[in-house]
Amino acid sequence: MPLYLDNPHKCSYLDDLSAQFAYIHPDFSLNTDFYSQLISQGFRRSGDHAYKPYCTTCKKCIPARLAVQDFHPSRQQRRTLKKNADIEINIKPAKFEQAHYDLYQRYQLSRHTDGGMTNTTEENYINFLSSDWCNTLFIEFSCNNELAGLAVVDLLDNALSAVYTFFDPRFSARSLGVYAVLWQIDHAKSLGLEWLYLGYWIENCQKMSYKINYQPLQGLVDNQWRAIP
């Protein structure tokens, strides 16, 4: 399997550290079946590109997955489910829609003004979230017939993979980020799947450490899946 390394660059998650990624070479043909194996080895997808951290001085990005059949929501998570009992769900293919793009722009301008994802073009937006070779779904969350949030989910052989979630800032009080994870857990259960992959868990990074709230969580450490904590 041919790999290539990008150049070291500033880490997006931990200050004063650099990051580097190993990518599957674009000439290598990927598909959902093969990616189902790669994700169990710590790879993730961004658009059509599959990658994993390859930092020589830091091992803090821990691939994380949840055993969905063993999950039981906490009291706070049950409150979130109750709060969003009126949410309407619509599962769509990963195709460009103007309403989705506009929602994505509002979310980025509200939550990530210092990042590189604000004012992204329509082409870059859909290329980031969708893939030509992966079975990706767009999950719409609507309230009173108004689009409130969208979760991007990959459907794999024995798992779902949470790719990205964004929502309208006006619905922040609903905790739609939490609700999206809980919905994905329930959907994976209903499909008889074993895992929900949650990306990378980083203990000392607030926007990545929240994943510890979903148990039983496993992390890939030294090429072995182990319980976290």
**151: closest CA among 107, 202, 212?**
107
Amino acid 107: pLDDT:
95
Amino acid 6: pLDDT:
94
Amino acid 204: pLDDT:
86
Amino acid 3: pLDDT:
95
Q: How confident is the model at residue 137 (pLDDT cuts 50, 70, 90)?
A: very high
Chain mean position to CA 159: 13
89 contacts 140 by C-beta, under 8 angstroms: yes
Amino acid 165: pLDDT:
97
Percent of the chain with pLDDT over 90: 87
Q: What are the backbone angles phi and psi of residue 185, rounded to the nearest 5°?
A: -60, -50
193 contacts 65 by C-beta, under 8 angstroms: no
Percent of the chain with pLDDT over 70: 97
188 contacts 69 by C-beta, under 8 angstroms: no
Total number of residues shown for the chain: 229
pLDDT in tens, 26-50: 999 999 999 999 999 999 999 999 9
148 contacts 176 by C-beta, under 8 angstroms: yes
Structure tokens, 8: 């070291």
Q: Look up residue 129 and give its DSSP letter.
A: H
